[in-house]
C-alpha cells in the first residue's frame, strides 16, 4: 500500500511527527483475522478465530494496555481471540497480589517443597519417556502416587530408631538402679522420626530436630498410678502436685534422662535435649558448604540391641545422611540459554508428547525467547523495580540443577505469567503451582520498589476447558469483560459462564452480597478438578499461526468497524510517522475505502487511544 502513495504528499504531511520517531515506540504490522484448529478443545471441526499483530517493538505501557484489552503474546506475535465467534472463549484473568489468599492445596505445595529442601522428602524415581497416562495408581506422568521408600533407606532408618530406643531404655534402667526414679514396671521406650509439620510444635521451630520420644510421659503416668495403688496420695492434694514433689513430672523425668544420655553425641553425632517433657534428638550440623547447603551426618557407633541379632550399626552414614537442598530463584532477561532449551525440549517431549523434530531451537526461540517488549532499566525514583521492566526468564535451580523456568513479562502494573516448563523428574513437587505462588510473592515484595506493581496476570481463563479452570483456584481473581474491558470478580462471572461460554461479564447484576455458598465453588472440588500440571498449557501457536492465513476482507462484515474513526491512526512510512487523516487524500477512492475499513477494524480491536499511539506499519 505504501508504494501506491504519493511520496511528496506523505513527506509534506509528516513534518509534525517526523522529529519524534526515534524515541521508544511501538511498531506493529496488522495481520488481520486468522483461523486455526482450536488449541484447547482440539476439535478439527471447531475453529479458533483471533486478531493478530506482528510487533517489531512494543513499549511496556502499550503492552500493559493491550493486556487490559484482552491481548496476549507468543514471541513477537500478539493475538486476541474474537470472543463471540471462537469455540472456546478466553478471558484474561488476574488477581491483586496483596489480596491473595492461599487455598489448602496451595499451602500443601509450599510445605511439600520445604520438606524436600529439608531432606525429609526424597525425589521420586525419574519418569520414562512416553509414560502411559491416567493409569491406576499413577499420575499423568507415570510417577507412582504412593511409591514406597527405597527398602535399604527404610531399613537403615529403622536401625537408627531401634538404636536410639535401646539407648533411652538403658538410661531409664540406669535411673531406676540409682534410685532417681520410683521403682515401677517400665514401659519400653519408643523413638520416632519427627515430621517437618510437627517440628514447630515439639521444638519451637528448630530446623535440626530429627527424632523424639515421649517416654517421660509414659514413666510419669506409671509413677502416678503406682502412687495411687499404694494409697500414698494425701487428701486435698492433687495428683499432679504429688508427682512434682516426687520428681515424677514428665518435664523432670525428661531432664534426668537427658543427663544420662549426654554421652550419646560422642557416639551417634546427635545431641539430646529435654523440651517440655519430650526427649528430642537433634542433628549435629556441619558448616554450610560453598554452595550454601548444609550436610548433616549421624554416624552411630557402639553396640545396640539389634547387634545381638547380627546387625552392625557401625559407619551407618549411608543411612543417616540428611542432605539439605538449596533452592535458588534467579531472574534474568529473556535470552537464549542452551541449558534452558535442553530442559524445554525434554519437557515438551515427555509431558506434551512432542516429537524431537518439532521442538527445534528455532521454534523455541520464536515462542519463548523472542520478545518485542522494549526493556526499561531500573531507576532510583521508585517507579521501576530493581530488575527493570521487560521480558524475563525466572529459573528455579536446586543444588545447581535447573528444574524449572518461568517465562514472564514485568510491566508497570503487573507480572504477566506467559509459560512454564519443568523437569518431569520433579513433577511430584507441583512446580506449576509452586512457581505461581513465588510469582505472586514477587509482586508483593516489589511493591516496595514500584507501588504501581500490584497485579498478577495468569493469562487466559477458559471456562469451557476443564484443564484451564485451575486458574480460578488463585483467589480472589477477576475476569476481563470482553466488551467493555471492565474487571469483574470471578465469583460473579462464574454464574454467567455456567450458562453460556461467551458472556458480557459487566452486564452481570448478581449481588456480591448473596449467600457465599451459592457464589463460591467448593475449594476442595476446585482443587481436585484443576490439574496443576496443565498450568503451563497456555495455547502455543503452531508454526502456521506465526504466518496466519488472512480471512478475506471481502467476506467479512464491517458494520462493527465502520463507525470507528480511523483518522487518528498513526501510520509508519519508512522514517515518517503520519496520521491517516493527513494522508488519506493521497489514495484513490478504492484504495482509500479499503484502507479505512482495515484501520477501522484495527482501531476497534486495539482501542482508539492505542491506535493513535502505536505505529501502524504499512511498509
pLDDT at 115 over 50: yes
Q: Is the backbone of residue 330 left (phi > 0), alpha (psi -120 to 50) or beta?
A: beta
> pLDDT digit string (tens) for 221-234?
887 776 655 554 44
pLDDT band for position 300 (cuts 50, 70, 90): very low
pLDDT of residue 227: 61
Residues in the chain: 619
Q: Give all domains of the chain, ordered by start, each with its CATH number.
A: 2-90+541-617 (no CATH), 95-144+327-459+512-531 (3.40.630), 151-323 (no CATH)
> pLDDT digit string (tens) for 253-281?
888 888 888 766 555 668 888 888 888 88
- pLDDT above 70 covers a percentage of the chain that reads 67
pLDDT at 294 over 80: no
Query: What's the average model confidence in pLDDT over 510-537?
Result: 40
* Burial environment of residue 199 by CB neighbours within 10 A (0 to 12, 13 to 18, 19 or more): buried
Query: Which of the given ranges, 164-168, 312-316, 548-552, 576-580, has the highest pLDDT on average?
Result: 576-580
Cβ-contact 302, 263 below 8 angstroms: no
> pLDDT digit string (tens) for 135-166?
333 333 233 323 344 555 556 677 788 888 88
DSSP state, residue 365:
I
pLDDT of residue 154: 59
Cα separation, 537 vs 420, in Å, equals 8
pLDDT at 206 over 70: no
Query: What's the average model confidence in pLDDT over 518-546?
Result: 37
Helices (H), 178-195: none
pLDDT of residue 332: 97
pLDDT at 615 over 90: yes
Element (H, E) at 583: helix 580-583
pLDDT of residue 12: 38
pLDDT of residue 135: 33
pLDDT at 168 over 80: yes
pLDDT at 11 over 90: no
Cα separation, 340 vs 346, in Å, equals 10
* Maximum distance among all Cα pairs of the chain, rounded to whole angstroms: 117
Query: What's the average model confidence in pLDDT over 554-558?
Result: 40
pLDDT at 243 over 60: no
Cα separation, 289 vs 295, in Å, equals 8
pLDDT of residue 245: 45
Query: What's the average model confidence in pLDDT over 285-305?
Result: 38
> pLDDT digit string (tens) for 396-445?
999 999 999 999 999 999 999 999 999 999 999 999 999 999 999 999 99
pLDDT of residue 153: 56
> pLDDT digit string (tens) for 77-87?
999 999 988 88
Going by C-beta distance under 8 Å and a sequence separation of 6 or more, which residues neighbour residue 67? 92, 411, 414, 416, 457
Query: What's the average model confidence in pLDDT over 304-323?
Result: 45
User: Cell 554416624 belongs to which residue?
Assistant: 299
pLDDT of residue 267: 58
pLDDT of residue 489: 95
pLDDT band for position 608 (cuts 50, 70, 90): very high
Cα separation, 453 vs 444, in Å, equals 8
pLDDT of residue 382: 79
Beta-carbon neighbour count of residue 16 at 10 Å?
Answer: 11
* Burial environment of residue 588 by CB neighbours within 10 A (0 to 12, 13 to 18, 19 or more): exposed
pLDDT at 202 over 60: no
Cα separation, 262 vs 257, in Å, equals 9
pLDDT of residue 200: 53
pLDDT at 553 over 90: no
pLDDT band for position 544 (cuts 50, 70, 90): very low
Between 37 and 587, name the one with better pLDDT.
587
Query: What's the average model confidence in pLDDT over 361-375?
Result: 97
Query: What's the average model confidence in pLDDT over 291-304?
Result: 37
Query: What's the average model confidence in pLDDT over 554-580?
Result: 72
Cβ-contact 579, 567 below 8 angstroms: yes
Query: What is 590-618 written as a DSSP string?
Result: HHHHHHHHHHHHHHHHH-HHHHTTSEEE-
Cα separation, 304 vs 166, in Å, equals 7
Query: What's the average model confidence in pLDDT over 504-527?
Result: 50
pLDDT of residue 538: 40
pLDDT band for position 167 (cuts 50, 70, 90): confident
Between 512 and 276, name the one with better pLDDT.
276
What are phi and psi for residue 314, nearest 5 degrees?
A: -75, 140
pLDDT band for position 247 (cuts 50, 70, 90): low
Q: What is the mean pLDDT of the chain?
A: 76
Query: Which of the given ranges, 198-202, 213-217, 527-531, has the highest pLDDT on average?
Result: 213-217
Query: What's the average model confidence in pLDDT over 183-189?
Result: 75
pLDDT of residue 270: 80
**Which pTM was predicted?**
0.63
Amino acid at each position: 500500500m505504501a508504494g501506491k502513495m504519493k511520496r511528496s504528499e506523505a513527506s509534506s504531511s509528516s513534518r509534525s511527527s517526523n522529529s519524534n520517531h526515534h524515541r521508544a515506540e511501538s511498531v506493529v504490522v496488522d495481520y488481520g483475522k486468522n483461523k486455526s484448529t482450536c488449541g484447547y478443545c482440539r476439535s478439527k471441526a471447531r475453529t479458533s478465530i483471533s486478531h493478530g499483530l506482528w510487533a517489531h517493538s512494543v513499549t511496556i505501557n502499550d503492552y500493559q494496555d493491550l493486556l487490559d484489552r484482552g491481548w496476549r503474546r507468543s514471541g513477537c506475535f500478539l493475538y486476541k481471540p474474537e470472543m463471540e465467534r471462537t469455540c472456546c472463549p478466553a478471558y484474561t484473568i488476574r488477581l491483586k497480589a496483596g489480596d491473595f489468599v492461599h487455598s489448602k492445596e496451595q499451602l500443601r505445595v509450599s510445605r511439600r517443597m520445604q520438606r524436600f529442601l529439608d531432606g525429609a522428602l526424597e525425589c521420586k524415581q525419574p519418569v520414562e519417556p512416553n509414560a502411559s497416562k491416567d493409569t491406576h495408581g499413577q499420575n499423568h506422568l507415570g510417577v507412582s502416587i504412593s511409591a514406597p521408600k527405597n527398602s535399604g533407606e527404610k531399613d537403615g532408618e529403622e536401625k537408627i530408631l531401634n538404636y536410639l530406643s535401646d539407648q533411652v531404655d538403658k538410661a531409664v534402667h540406669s535411673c531406676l538402679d540409682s534410685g532417681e526414679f520410683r521403682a515401677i514396671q517400665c514401659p519400653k521406650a519408643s523413638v520416632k522420626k519427627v515430621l517437618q509439620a510437627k517440628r514447630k510444635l515439639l521444638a519451637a521451630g528448630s530446623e535440626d530436630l530429627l527424632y523424639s520420644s515421649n517416654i517421660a510421659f509414659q514413666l510419669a503416668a506409671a509413677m502416678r498410678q503406682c502412687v495411687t495403688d499404694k494409697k500414698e496420695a494425701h487428701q486435698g492434694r492433687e495428683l499432679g502436685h504429688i508427682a512434682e514433689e516426687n520428681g515424677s513430672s514428665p518435664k523432670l523425668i525428661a531432664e534426668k534422662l537427658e543427663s544420662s544420655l549426654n554421652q550419646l553425641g560422642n557416639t551417634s553425632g546427635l545431641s539430646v535435649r529435654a523440651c517440655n517433657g519430650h526427649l528430642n534428638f537433634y542433628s549435629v550440623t556441619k558448616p554450610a558448604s560453598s554452595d550454601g547447603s548444609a550436610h548433616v551426618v549421624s554416624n552411630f557407633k557402639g553396640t545396640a540391641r539389634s547387634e545381638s541379632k547380627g546387625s552392625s550399626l557401625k559407619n551407618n552414614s549411608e543411612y543417616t545422611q540428611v542432605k539439605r537442598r538449596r533452592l535458588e530463584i534467579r531472574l534474568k532477561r529473556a535470552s537464549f540459554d542452551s541449558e534452558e532449551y535442553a530442559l524445554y525440549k525434554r519437557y515438551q517431549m515427555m509431558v506434551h508428547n512432542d516429537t524431537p523434530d518439532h521442538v527445534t531451537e528455532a521454534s523455541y526461540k520464536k515462542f519463548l525467547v523472542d520478545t518485542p517488549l522494549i526493556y526499561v532499566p531500573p531507576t532510583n525514583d521508585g517507579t521501576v523495580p530493581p530488575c527493570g521492566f521487560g521480558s524475563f526468564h525466572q529459573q528455579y535451580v536446586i543444588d545447581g540443577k535447573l528444574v524449572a523456568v518461568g517465562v514472564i513479562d514485568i510491566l508497570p502494573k503487573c507480572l504477566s505469567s506467559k509459560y512454564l516448563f519443568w523437569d518431569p523428574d520433579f513433577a511430584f513437587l507441583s512446580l506449576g503451582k509452586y512457581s505461581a505462588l513465588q510469582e505472586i510473592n514477587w509482586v508483593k515484595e516489589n511493591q516496595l520498589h514500584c507501588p504501581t506493581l500490584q497485579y498478577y496476570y495468569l493469562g487466559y481463563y477458559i471456562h469451557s476447558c476443564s484443564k484451564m479452570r485451575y486458574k480460578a483456584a488463585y483467589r480472589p481473581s477477576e475476569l476481563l469483560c470482553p466488551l467493555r474491558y471492565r474487571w469483574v470478580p470471578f465469583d460473579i462471572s462464574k454464574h454467567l459462564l455456567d450458562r453460556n461460554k461467551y458472556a458480557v461479564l459487566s452486564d452481570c447484576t448478581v449481588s456480591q452480597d448473596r449467600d457465599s455458598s451459592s457464589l463460591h465453588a467448593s475449594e476442595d472440588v476446585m482443587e481436585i478438578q484443576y490439574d496443576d500440571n496443565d498450568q503451563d498449557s497456555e495455547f502455543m501457536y503452531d508454526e502456521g499461526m506465526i504466518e496466519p492465513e488472512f480471512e478475506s476482507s471481502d467476506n467479512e462484515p464491517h458494520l462493527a468497524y465502520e463507525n470507528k474513526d480511523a483518522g487518528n491512526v498513526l501510520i509508519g512510512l519508512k522514517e515518517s510517522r503520519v496520521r491517516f487523516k493527513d494522508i488519506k487524500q493521497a489514495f484513490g477512492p478504492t484504495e482509500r475505502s479499503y484502507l479505512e475499513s482495515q484501520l477501522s477494524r484495527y482501531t476497534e480491536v486495539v482501542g482508539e487511544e492505542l491506535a493513535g499511539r502505536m505505529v501502524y506499519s504499512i511498509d
